[in-house]
Structure 1
Amino acid sequence: MIIGIIAGIVIAVGVAGVVFVNQPQFGRIPQGERLERIKKSPHYKDGQFRNLHATPMMTSGRGRLGALWDFVFKKAEGVRPQKEVPAVKTDLESIGREKNVLVWFGHSSYYIQLDGKRILVDPVFCSAAPLSFLNRPFAETDIYKPEDMPGIDYLVITHDHWDHLDYNTVVQLKERVGKVVCPLGVGEHFEYWGFDKARLVELDWFEDTVLDEGFLMHCLPSRHFSGRFLKSNQSLWASFLVEAPSQKIYMGGDGGYDTRFAEIGKKYPGIDLAILENGQYNEAWKYIHTMPGYLARAAKDLGAERYLTVHHSKYALARHRWDEPLKNAADLKEKDSLDVLMPVIGEVIYLD
């Protein structure tokens, strides 16, 4: 009797698990023609995408499960703010298209208006995890929703992690997006979610495309990984450089330091604004996120006119103090004498 009850519970849990991971928000692993294109990529080997440099994911010796245990159960001071994080709500529709602006929504989500085009990068307005309670936003930072977005010309996704690609957000934006620009393989999620394949601009590293007259998009490397559940690196992760008539803007995505910053700076001189990852780092995964000691080096390698740091101030995905990235950005400005933008969430930054 008891054995039968236990067996029933195990089966029920197993069935529930299978049903859960087959929900649409988990996306779909590339298949068919897309998979055949992926197999031809020079960055795809032995069944997965690879970084340009050897990149151990975990460096603490404890592995991913050990790191997850520490994240859930190990206490750390100041990981979440005790007070509300400063933020303002801007009516994006009221900003004239002729104005070149940037609005940061916290973490890695931001909106750019550039030479009449509207660009939305890594929007996460609903949930940054499979279960929303696993990754709660800080108080008063979750003030923007999909319905607050105007019509978007280019939706740019740097990789498919939950804190950069939010199923509920992009599905709600589907009818208001012109083109989706993403790394190779990520388009599988969008096609599975009902996006027209003709609207997907899917690029491998070092590929580029003309989005519209005067708008050239370069897909460039990052040093990171991908995946929405158990199977990693089936789609690519990337940074992007958009060359518009008036400005060049580099969108760094996630990734640890390596030679790519200097190589990009040399190949594409005159970058007007570089948007760099700064936050959710840890010595246990020091190669896949930019550690504070390398932030200034990455910025100087790129040689941009101005900088904005992101990947902070909304979620706690690491054990550093929540405001440490803000101090890192202040150090770039004060100690390294770089022109660093430090807006609050929702503030309009004029790019001209």
Structure 2
Amino acid sequence: MIIVVSLMLTIAIFVGCYMQKPQFGKLPSGKRLERIEKSPNYHNGRFHNRVEKPTITEGYSMAGEIYKTIFGKKTRLKPVDSLPSKKINLNKLDRNENVLVWFGHSSVFIQIGGKRLLVDPVFSGKASPLPWGIKAYKGSDVYEMEDIPEIDYLLISHDHYDHLDYETVLALKNKIKYVVCGLGVGAHFEDWGYAPNQILEKDWYDKVDVADGFIIHTETSQHDSGRGFKRGRSLWLSFLIESPTLKIYVSGDGGYDQRFKEIGKKYGPINWAIMENGQYNKAWQSVHNLSEQVDKANLELNAQNLLTVHHSKFTLGRHPWDEPLRQISLLSENKPYRLATPMIGELVNLDNPDQKFEKWWEKIN
């Protein structure tokens, strides 16, 4: 018993010391916490979803899911081959062009209305605070932090490691004009050396006035947050980017709920939807969409074009790595929206409805 207790105490001390490293960020305090406590979405010491749902779906258990993750059958969780990709010089893009580049997982560069935005960038090659943690697939990291131009607005949907990457935002600090994030997430950025006036922390149903006719709306999601053992201390968001000529919805992470129908009615028609589709499981569909829910949500958004993300870079779920693309390709057939499936790094022209995309994943083992 003494040996067991000593071992557990040693592990606890090691974990506690390791979690003091800067990549874990900071919890909100002081005036930031006072502002958070005034939010209608914050009570009992944390943020809550509009409709509370258990993370694990009824009929499943956390213990069972952990067992399946460790001992269950694993089929094609990551590609054997290197992923195909393209690389363009982002610095030489004409500012007047409305374009998009997907970097794998949920990292997206968007240039519209003369502004440059970067969503949930992860360029460190991993989705974990641990050096031996979840690694990017071969071929998925063709862009490096040095390739990113000056960014007007960095959009962070929530503070999980596969969306808010310490090494990336630290390296990009001098290229970022403003950060748009949920309440509480700014504590991480301030701890990492960002100036308070750079950090625009927003609640649901808030907005950032970018320019005449250009607004970034912060909308809801059905998810969670946290970089340590304390959950829900910062807010998770989706975004509706409204430029003078285009409307782009960025879902962030989150399970299916009524927000898609509400957002479609509020802002529709929407030109482009960038939707999470990957790292899902029926056991945790309350916080991550299944592919059939992505299709349904996009129809409710009344989005003309769909680009799915949260796949093709990291293995965080138990499905085959290419299943999200295969599923949404089938589901989108004969639907009133167009599915865009660019390779990582491929330039997407947001104003060209005739641009063609390959089913590039079909050639990869």
Q: TM-score range by the shorter chain?
A: over 0.9
Secondary structure of the equivalent of 1:35?
A: helix
CA distance in 1, matches of 2:129, 2:229: 13
Matched, 1:205 2:188: no
Q: Which residue of 1 aligns with 2:274?
A: 275
Q: Which residue of 1 aligns with 2:360?
A: none
Q: Structure 2: which amino acid aligns with 1:188? A: A
Q: How far is the alpha carbon of 1:17 from its aligned partner?
A: 1.7
Q: Structure 2: which amino acid aligns with 1:342? A: T
CA distance in 2, matches of 1:190, 1:64: 32
Q: Which residue of 1 aligns with 2:303?
A: 304
- Paired-residue identity, %: 47
1:340-351 equivalence runs, <5 A: 340-351=339-350
Matched, 1:87 2:85: yes
Q: Which residue of 2 aligns with 1:113?
A: 111
Q: Structure 2: which amino acid aligns with 1:245? A: P
Q: Which residue of 1 aligns with 2:318?
A: 319
CA distance in 2, matches of 1:23, 1:186: 17
CA distance in 1, matches of 2:141, 2:54: 33
Q: Structure 1: which amino acid aligns with 2:137? A: F
Q: Which residue of 2 aligns with 1:255?
A: 254
Q: Which residue of 2 aligns with 1:122?
A: 120
Tell me if structure 1 keeps the 8 A contact 2:304–2:336.
no
Q: Cα deviation per residue 1:48-78 (whole Å; 9 max; x = unaligned)?
A: 1111112211126664454344324423111
Q: How far is the alpha carbon of 1:291 from its aligned partner?
A: 1.1
Q: How far is the alpha carbon of 1:273 from its aligned partner?
A: 0.6
Scaled by the length of structure 2, the TM-score of the pair is 0.91
CA distance in 1, matches of 2:63, 2:19: 19
Matched, 1:75 2:73: yes
Q: Which moved more, 1:331-340 or 1:176-185?
A: 331-340
Measured on the aligned residues, the alpha-carbon RMSD in Å equals: 1.8
Q: Structure 1: which amino acid aligns with 2:224? A: F
CA distance in 1, matches of 2:11, 2:173: 34
1:10/1:295 CA distance change after superposition, 3 Å: closer
Secondary structure of the equivalent of 2:181?
A: strand
Q: How far is the alpha carbon of 1:332 from its aligned partner?
A: 3.8
Q: Which residue of 1 aligns with 2:330?
A: 331
Q: Structure 2: which amino acid aligns with 1:144? A: Y
Tell me if structure 2 keeps the 8 A contact 1:296–1:336.
no
1:35/1:64 CA distance change after superposition, 3 Å: farther
CA distance in 2, matches of 1:331, 1:239: 26
CA distance in 1, matches of 2:91, 2:63: 44
Number of residues of Structure 1 aligned to a counterpart in Structure 2:
350
Q: In the alignment, which of 100, 103, 110 is matched to residue 101 of structure 2? A: 103
Q: Structure 2: which amino acid aligns with 1:321? A: P
CA distance in 2, matches of 1:222, 1:8: 42
Tell me if structure 2 keeps the 8 A contact 1:87–1:141.
yes
Q: How far is the alpha carbon of 1:252 from its aligned partner?
A: 0.6
Tell me if structure 2 keeps the 8 A contact 1:60–1:283.
no
1:178-197 equivalence runs, <5 A: 178-197=177-196
Q: Structure 1: which amino acid aligns with 2:322? A: D
1:63/1:46 CA distance change after superposition, 3 Å: farther
Q: Cα deviation per residue 1:70-119 (whole Å; 9 max; x = unaligned)?
A: 32442311111121222112221121212111000000001001111110
CA distance in 1, matches of 2:69, 2:5: 32
Scaled by the length of structure 1, the TM-score of the pair is 0.94
Q: Which moved more, 1:82-91 or 1:178-187?
A: 82-91
Q: In the alignment, which of 23, 26, 40 is matched to residue 25 of structure 1? A: 23
- What residue ranges of structure 2 are gaps of 5+ in the alignment? 352-365
